[in-house]
Structure 1
Amino acid sequence: MTTAADPARGFTRKPVDLLKAYVGLTKPRVVELLLVTTIPAMMLAVRGIPAPWVVLATLIGGTMAAGSANALNCVVDADIDQVMKRTRARPLVRHTVSNRHAFVFGTSLGLGSFAWLWATTNLLAAVLALATILFYVLVYTLVLKRRTAQNIVWGGAAGCMPVVIGWAGATGSVEWPAIVMFGVIFFWTPPHTWALAVKYKDDYERAGVPMLPAVARPAHVSRQIVAFSWLMVLWTLLLVPATGWLYAAFAAASGAWFLVLAHRLHSATRRGVKARPMRLFHMSNTYLMIVFVALAVDSALGLPVLGLPW
């Protein structure tokens, strides 16, 4: 089998290993979660089933944009990844891919996503995708992440953009439901991330990253998780005027479930008994999927819009 030599390190790598490494740079599990929210946003935008080609084109461009941001993030954070246990297997830490090649790969994906979205959807979607990449790399990764405990609060805005890009890809515009969906993910990100960070608190301390659980008392962290959970659940209800009864029912029921777990986590933390932050972390993924799948089904069925109460 043909291998690629690395003269600087004196070993060879199989093409399949290189392929896996480049895919790993894009953080596919993160990309998958982002795409789950894009399709429902497009369906709500047209209140039905968008043209399959438009959906496919938007997903391809969105995947390229997210992969670009994640690959460039790996380049900037290579020193952090090297000292954190959960990131030591990433390609740049294991030297499967060089930093220079990863940078070229990430930049090419970003420029490619802009060109693709402009050619296949519209300029607005392309500009939003490029702006998201730049914000994630230049604002979150280079500035916020290493300087403030509020890093994920504001930096998480990049992860909210796929719904806006999806709406723009489907309609060529951005309307208020897209902004509301942006807010849902914005308020979802801190409880989701902080619950995971509680488990990896030592990792963040060792890397010198001021993630909230690494710099604040546990009770303060759990209190913030509860606060953002309430904001998230209440924010999902702002979409009710643009949707039908199915979305409203699932948003309310799953939101209540999420709040119960958040309050249980805070109660256990305050009492000093064993808390289960990973339960909330895993549930947060399920919760987001439920909300957006309900949004997609509600739109696909064309259920009567509940409308504004006035």
Structure 2
Amino acid sequence: MQTSAPISRQNIREDYLPGARDFLALLKPRVMSLVIFTAIIGMVMAPGDIHPVIGFTAILCIAVGAGASGCLNMWYEADLDALMERTKDRPIPAGRMDPQTALHFGVALATASVLVMGLMVNVVAGALLLMTILFYVVVYTIWLKRRTSMNIVIGGAAGAFPPMIAWAAVTGGVSLESIVMFGIIFMWTPPHFWSLSLFACKDYKAAGIPMLPVVSGEAETRKQILIYTLFMVPVTMLPWILGFAGPVYGITAAISGAIFTWMSISLARKKDIKTARQTFFYSIFYLFLLFAVMGGEIIIGRMI
């Protein structure tokens, strides 16, 4: 098994020192924004109070831990990134950063985030954060991604932990509510990434990454997107059914879920790249909307 990305020091421009933008790029800020948002909502949904400083520390640690995971992912996958148009300008394949620098940066961030979370917030939240980082880096990046087309189904669990970690930061434990929030993101991940893989299929094929459309074809991928969407929508209704989200959330989840289902059916029928892109971007809006309404309704309810 590879233990590091095979990008040699000869690829690194000796006259170039990595700048703040390069280090920021390693953290995958777009992914981090979704992680931070769902974590904040997880904290809002949790019963009980948390000191503002401790709450801010918990969210910061989750953000830094997510950034560390992205950084270590880019370090390990630099050889793959160099083969894909979508990722070839990332700091390591573009020659703007030494792989070892990225490795050390990622390990430092991961270590700091887990230690601070465990010492300043609580041990349960720290342990969950550690498990999340290890799951993303070891299970998904190193083990699954290059080996199976189901990589994102299993590996997607890493992206579903943030609201659970934030919940644990407030309560000191894990409960059914936090598991449901985990489940929503877990079920959302395959349709989201498979719709991306449909219009990025050439890149994945060039890099030899066994994403579902590369291995099983586009028709099967579109079918699986629809199947997972049909399973996902009922899961998104659980917060309302179980009583920890209000009726506004229930209505929003039902309507937005129906739209997602309709788009997945259209994707299966039309079989064009435009519909795949529309489904991908809608999936991002969909998850943000669900968590925004879920948390917003709780905040308004507490203010009344």
Residue 170 and residue 285 in structure 1: after superposition, are their counterparts in 2 closer, same or farther (change >3 A)?
same
Q: Aligned residue for 1:250?
A: 252
Gaps of 5+ in 1: 1-5, 304-310
**In 2, Cα distance between equivalents of 1:175 and 1:301:** 23
Amino acid at match of 2:265: H
Cα 1:76–1:9 change in 2 (3 A) is closer
**1:31 and 2:2 correspond:** no
Aligned residue number for residue 286 of structure 1: 285
The 8 Å contact of residues 12 and 96 in structure 2, kept in 1 or not, is answered as no
2:41 is aligned with what amino acid? P
Aligned twin of 2:173:
173
Percentage identity across paired residues of the two chains: 36
Q: CA deviation at 1:8?
A: 8.9
Q: Is the 8 A contact 2:13 2:96 kept in 1?
A: no
Deviations along 1:1-55, whole A, 9 cap, x unmatched?
xxxxx999564336xx5211111111010000111111111111127x8543233
Structure 1 residue 275 displacement after superposition: 5.2
For residue 52 of structure 2, what is the amino acid of its counterpart? P
Question: 4+ residue runs of structure 1 moved beyond 2 angstroms?
Answer: 6-14, 49-55
What SS is found at the alignment partner of 1:83?
Answer: coil
Which deviates further from its counterpart, 228-237 or 149-158?
Answer: 228-237
After TM superposition, the structure 1 stretch with the greater mean CA deviation from structure 2, 65-74 or 116-125, is 116-125
User: Matched residue of 1:86: which SS?
Assistant: coil
The SS at the match of 1:193 is: helix
State the match for 1:308 in structure 2. none
CA distance, structure 2, for counterparts of residue 250 and residue 50 of structure 1: 28
Give the direction of change, closer, same or farther, for the CA distance of 1:198–1:10 in structure 2 (3 Å limit). Answer: closer
Give the aligned partner of residue 268 of structure 1: 270
Contact 1:71–1:102, Cα closer than 8 Å, also in 2? yes
SS of the residue 1:12 aligns to: coil
**Whole-Å Cα distance in 2 between the matches of residues 8 and 199 of structure 1?**
29
| Residue in 1 that maps onto 2:113 | 113
Q: How does 1:83-94 map to 2 (within 5 A)?
A: 83-94=83-94
- 1:235 aligned partner: 235
Give the 3-state SS of the residue equivalent to 2:15 in structure 1. Answer: strand
Q: Is the 8 A contact 1:136 1:155 kept in 2?
A: yes
SS in 1 for 2:89: coil
Q: Deviations over 1:66-125 (max 9, x none)?
A: 011111111110110000110001011112111111111000000000111123211111
Q: Distance in 2 between matches of 1:120 and 1:58?
A: 8
User: C-alpha deviations, 1:153-173, integer Å up to 9, x for none?
Assistant: 001110001011111111111
Aligned 8 A contact 2:27 2:66 in 1: yes
Give, in whole Å, the separation in 1 of the partners of 2:273 and 2:91. 35
Alpha-carbon deviations, 1:175-207, whole Å to 9, x = none?
Answer: 001111111101100111011111110111111
Q: Which amino acid in the other structure matches residue 281 of structure 1?
A: F
The counterpart of 2:15, out of the listed 12, 18, 33, is 12
Give the alignment's TM-score, normalised by structure 1: 0.90
Q: CA deviation at 1:274?
A: 6.2
1:65 aligns with 2:93: no
Contact 1:133 1:158 in 2 (8 A): yes
Letter of the 1:46 counterpart = P
What code does the residue aligned with 1:26 have? L
In structure 1, distance between residues paired with 2:152 and 2:233: 19
Mapped contact 2:191–2:228 kept (Cα < 8 A) = yes
Q: Distance in 1 between matches of 2:259 and 2:149?
A: 27
Q: Contact 2:38–2:163 (CA<8 Å) still a contact in 1?
A: yes
Q: CA deviation at 1:302?
A: 2.7
- Name the amino acid aligned to 2:290: V
TM-score in terms of structure 2 length: 0.91
Distance, in Å, in 1 between the alignment partners of 2:110 and 2:80 is 23
Distance in 2 separating the partners of 1:252 and 1:280: 17
Q: Report the CA distance between 1:252 and its aligned residue.
A: 1.1
Secondary structure of the residue aligned to 1:92 is: coil
Change (3 A) 1:274 1:192: closer
Alignment partner, residue 158 of structure 2: 158
Paired amino acid for 1:31: M
* d(CA) in 2 for partners of 1:209, 1:298: 41
